[in-house]
Structure formats: structure tokens, C-alpha cells
Structure 1
Amino acid sequence: MSMEFIEALSEIERDKGISKDVLIEAIEAALISSYKRNFNTAQNVRVDVNQTTGQIKVYARKTIVEEVLDPRLEISLEAARSINPHYQLEDIAEIEVTPRDFGRIAAQTAKQVVTQRIREAERGLIYHAFVDKEQDIVTGIVQRMDQRNLYVDLGKVEAALPLTELMPTDKFKQGDRVKSYITKVENTSKGPQIILSRTHPGLLKRLFELEVPEIFDGTVEIRSVAREAGFRSKIAVYSRNDEVDPVGSCVGQKGVRVQTIVMELKGEKIDIVRWSEAIDEYVANALSPSKVLEVIVFEAEKMARVIVPDYQLSLAIGIKGQNARLAAKLTGWKIDIKTFCHALIRAC
């Protein structure tokens, strides 16, 4: 190697943040393996890279003994003292054994090591950049698709969006921009692996956080989210400030805030309900847009019996039970919906 190579290592240290000492240690370790492989030797060796000149030397390390049984690993005291008169028995003597053409092998090995370390460092930087974005929203460009995934270019890395994590209304093609939620970031042997989702409830929550300033600054809090992606969602909100309407803040003037989110979710219907500490009130709100006459709470079973007007039953239950199912997910309570007439007959 040369001084230019040492200077290049210093430049890599400045640009990539990889310590020059670490690189040189890795190069020396790789050169030991290269020496043993290329020169078919089993002897114990040390490689030294001079950080000033770039010069490389290989030293055989041998134990000083009275009687030499294995010349590859041992050296006599007399022979050792011809190198250095201060050597004693059981010391380790170092004898330079640098091959004549070792420079070519060293340059090639060093280049491979540095390239590999730069790649590992860049992967590490990407991983640390995206692991902090786990459970956050990213926007990327669809690059390609196979039978299992859409592959999305996020700039520094390609992420996988499983087809199972697409909404039924999603239709993407190569070159389309897609906004997704990061569900998992892993550091694998092949580099960072980032998994995306368009169906996760967290996507809806983060969209509201981005769109509604009152949520972003903490005045309004999202307490719960229930979602059947592509069809309908419910979100329960609470205001820390009595003067701020949490539902109105999320809807926005003339519905502009919620409509922006609905458009991003390809027409998914969103019910925004007021969270309440009183479970009867909360359950009634969760069944919106249905009107509720009464909620009877059974604490032990964590179940609520809801009485609705006869004409509101189908609205309360929803298509294929969707409204009731989402309300149950949102509140965490079992919900039994009865009409007023049915409840009256039962009472009689």
C-alpha cells in the first residue's frame, strides 16, 4: 500500500465516520488470512500496517525454546538472539517473512475490507435512521412488485409493502407515490429490512396527528382507533382543554381536515367520536351515527347492552355488523344492541 491509501482511509473516516484505526485493524486481520491462504502456511503471523508510510510487513511469531520440535511455531534461543540479543526462553520472537509480491495481495485485500466496512457502516446508518421512524409514516415510490410484496423506494433503502397490507381499494403501479406506515425495522445480514403497511390502525392515527395541529401539540388526544381498512374506521378523541372541541378539531372547517385523510385512504369512511370516562356515554358515542336511547353497563362481564329506536337498529349494527364490531373494538367492551320494543317486551 501507499501513502495515498492511508490518506484515503483518513478521508473515509471524515466522510463516513468509520475510524481509521478500526479499518487498519480489519485490514491487518484480513491480511493474516490472505497470507496463510496464499502461501500455504500454518505458522503464527502478525501483520503490521505502518500508518505513516503505508508499508506492510509480515512477521512470523515463534516461541523461544531449548529444543525445536516444530520449526513453524518454535525457534531456538541461539537463533532468536541472532535477531535480538535480549530474547529469553519462552519469549515470542518475531521474524520478518514479508513475501516479495505481497504488496499486490495486500492492496486487493485492503480494498475488499474497506469496501465491506463502508457497506456495513452505511447499512448501520440507514438502520439507525429508520429504526427511529418505526410506527411512523413514510412516503416512497413504487419500484416493482412480485407475488408477495410491493417494493417501495424510500430514498436510501427499498422497503417491502406486503400485498396483504394493502387496502382493498389500493391500486398502485410502478412510479406511483405511496404513503405507508412502518410496522417493523430489522437489521439483517443483507442490510436493513423495512416492512410497511397501509391497513394498520397506526396509519390512521399518524395521519390525524399530521393533519390536526391540536393533536400534534397535545391539546387533543387520540384515545383509541378501530379500523377495517378500506371500508370504515372509528377514532375516539379527547380534549385536555374544555374550550377545544376534539371532534370539531379533527373534522376541520367544512370537513376539510378529515376529507384530506379520507382521500389518502381512498374513500375509507371515518367516524370521529368523543371519548368519555363514563363507559355508557363512550359506548353510545362509539355507535355513531346511530342514535342511542340507553346504555346498561355490566361491569363484571365488561358488556354493555344498548337500547336503540326500532328504526335505528340496522344503522347501529351496520352492514354485516360493521358498525357494532368497530364500536366494540374501539371501546374494548362487548356490545349487545336491542331495540326499544324488544327491551320493553323483555322487561314485561
Structure 2
Amino acid sequence: MAKKVATTDFQELFSAIDELEREYKIEREYIYSVLESALLTAYKQVRGIKDKNLSNVKVSIDPEKGDVKIFEYKKVVENVKDRRNEISLEDARKIDKRYQVGDVVAIEVPISDFSRKAAMTVRQTVIGKIREKKRNIIFEDYSAKIDNIVTGVIQRIDKKNVIVEIEGGKVEAILPMEEQIPGEEYKPGTMMKFYLVDVKIPPKEKEPIVYLSRTHPNLIRRLMENEVPEIQEGIIEIKAIAREAGSRSKVAVYSNSSRIDPIGACVGEKGIRIQNVLKHLGNEKIDIVKWSNDIGEFIKNALSPAEVVHIDLNLVEKKAFVLVPNDQLSLAIGKGGQNARLTAKLTGWKIDIKGK
């Protein structure tokens, strides 16, 4: 004979409800509805009922006591023709002598009548539905945070991926190898800023996977937005970013107010604003350059600190021929061609630099 299950086997389901509601905002009503549905399924299993009609069976949940009861509602009749929905007057009066024909009797179905298998079905169904709900909540929550910065703590390295705990441990995120800054150390326990790239629910995964980046240009954009109020207010715009993560970046900025210098505002008094950005980027350097809709002027600004003598533009091929003093040629090109390369990325033009 299958072992019967005691009411206490369901108490663990209730003990988790407060935590789920508080931490993941899973409504109690949802959990109760899932539990009710699972209990009705188990009831059908115990009673050997195959059709879907259970209109005479109700589940009662007492949140205060954490108590669950199942009742069968049967009409009192003289002669029983439908045992699922009817009870004889004689049997009804064994429950209460006051019952009359036509009354409805509520008969409790003891949870102890459930086999352990049925109880396991209830527990697995409820836990499965709650996990699914939690998974969807996490997915929706972090989908809304895509293209923003999150703070996380390095947990471990797993197959060259860095596992990061974000939002106080609610979620483990992945910093893939290709999104890591070359040469940057990721020591467990270190707190860092990350750019949230994507959230996915892969097949057979219990939880959504949050993907982070340390190399994305928008990490710099969001860091600067946090540090420069004029960007938040829309007075200053970040027009373009060219980045070689861990080494150097160029950020093109524009002011919508003639009274505010975009470079000065971004750098801040004594460089405090840009330093607050750089402290999250290790050894990376950032050049703040003034954007202009005059492409010649923009290229000239982007090549700074090198002095530009002359620029010829090929509008068809979007190619700029830049002339600089011989003694500044290496400065204009940059170490390993980096300054010219970043200027090309920033402006969207091919750059050909010659000395004079």
C-alpha cells in the first residue's frame, strides 16, 4: 500500500512564500492559485477521475495558519444516482442531523488520503511553476536593464568566462572572454561596474543568463552620464565613441549651449569628473574631443593633440588626406597607429596622414 502523506509535507511550500514575495515580487495569489491547481490534479489522481469537471470540489487555503483543505460539495438526495455529486439523506444526517433533501454538504477530503506520490506531484508542480515565474521575473527585470550599468562582485573563473554576482546575489551573470578587457585581472571578491549586454533563457536552463561586458563603448557612455549632470540634462551630447578597451578611447561631445564648454564640463574641475570615470576602467585613457558637423573640423579635433596643417576630403570615398608637421607625424598616427585608427572609428572616415 502506498504510504500516506501528512499535512506537514506541504508546510515547506508555505514557509517559502514570504521570501518569494519579498525577494522576487511573486504574488501570494499566484502561488496560491498554483497550489490550488496542483491539489485538484492530485485529487483527481487519488479519486481516479479522468474528466475535467471538478465543479463540486474546492480548495481552501488559510494564509494565516498556512493550512490547506479540500472539500467535496454534494447535494442531499433521497436516492443517490451520482456519487461524485450527491449524498444520501441518511449519510448526510450522520454528519449533521439538521440536513434536509436539497441541502449541500461540504465534506472535507483529508490530505492524509493522498499518497506520497500524489503529494510529490503537488510539490513538484508548485515548485516548478514558482521557478518558472521567478525565471520570467528575472528575465523581464534584467531585460529592462539592458544597455545600462550594473555593479557586480567577481565570484570565479569558469572556462575563461568570469562569473559575476550582481544585485546582491539574486543573479549570477557571465562576463564572456571576448567581453573582458585585455590584461585586466578579475580576482574573486572584487567589485566592478559592468555594461549589461543581453539576457537569455537558453533551453534546459533553470535561470536566465545575464551577459555583461567590460569592453563595450557604452560602458564609457553610461559612466560619463553618471558623472556629468549636463549629459543627463541633455545640455551636452555624446555624439560618438571609439574605444580600444583597456588602452585608449576617444569620446566626441557637443554642447547645445554656447555658454557651456563640452570638454570642460566632461573633464570637470581639476579633472575630477573624468577621473571618476577612469577609476572604473583600470589603465585606460580617454580623450574628450569636440564634435562638429563640419567633418574637416571634427577630424582635426579628433587627431588632437597633434596639430593639423591641412585636410583634403574625398566625399565619395569618405577619405581624409591629412597633412601634419613632420615633427608631429608620429604623434598624429600614434603608437601602433592607434590615434589615427581611433580617429577613423570616431569620425567614420578613412584617415591618411602625411608629414610636411
Please, what TM-score do these two structures have when normalized by structure 1? Answer: 0.76
- Structure 2, unpaired ranges of 5+: 1-5, 63-67, 74-79, 87-106
Q: 1:103 to 1:283 in 2, by over 3 A?
A: same
Instruction: Name the CA shift for 1:194/1:34 in 2 (closer, same or farther; >3 Å).
Output: farther
Partner of 1:321: 337
1:78-157 alignment runs, 5 A limit: 101-102=113-114, 104-154=116-166, 155=168, 156-157=170-171
In the alignment, which residue of structure 2 is the partner of 1:186?
Answer: 200
Q: Is the 8 A contact 1:294 1:308 kept in 2?
A: yes
Partner of 1:24: 33
Provide, for residues 94-131 of structure 1, a one-character-per-residue CA deviation record: whole Å limited to 9, x for no partner.
Answer: xx9x8983265554433333333333333333222222
In structure 2, what is the Cα distance between the partners aligned to 1:44 and 1:208? 62
The residue identity in structure 2 corresponding to 1:148 is K
Partner SS state of residue 330, structure 1: helix
What is the match of residue 51 of structure 1? 60
Partner of 1:172: 186
The equivalent residue for 1:338 is 354
* Inter-CA distance 326–104: structure 2 relative to 1 (3 Å threshold): same
Deviation at 1:202, TM superposition (A): 0.8
Cα separation, partners in 2 of 1:230 and 1:52, compared to 1, 3 Å: closer
8 Å Cα contact 1:144/1:174 also seen in 2: yes
- What letter corresponds to residue 132 of structure 1 in structure 2? A
Inter-partner Cα distance in structure 1 for 2:261 and 2:325: 28
Unpaired segments of 5 or more residues in structure 1? Answer: 60-77, 85-95, 341-348
Match of 2:220 among 184, 198, 204: 204
Q: CA deviation at 1:270?
A: 1.1
The answer to whether the 8 Å contact 1:149/1:162 transfers is yes
Distance in 1 (CA, whole Å) between partners of 2:272 and 2:212 is: 27
- Indicate if the aligned counterparts of 1:223 and 1:236 stay in contact, CA closer than 8 A: yes
Alignment partners' CA distance in 2, 1:134 and 1:200: 12
Code of the residue aligned with 1:136 in structure 2: it is N
User: RMSD over aligned Cα, in angstroms?
Assistant: 3.5
TM-score by length of 2: 0.75
2:134 counterpart letter in structure 1: E
Residue identity opposite 2:192 in structure 1: V
Identity %: 44
> 1:27-84, CA deviations, whole angstroms, 9 ceiling, x for partnerless residues?
5357537855x89x7943555442368443799xxxxxxxxxxxxxxxxxx9669977
Deviation at 1:286, TM superposition (A): 0.9
Quote the offset at 1:236 in angstroms. 0.2
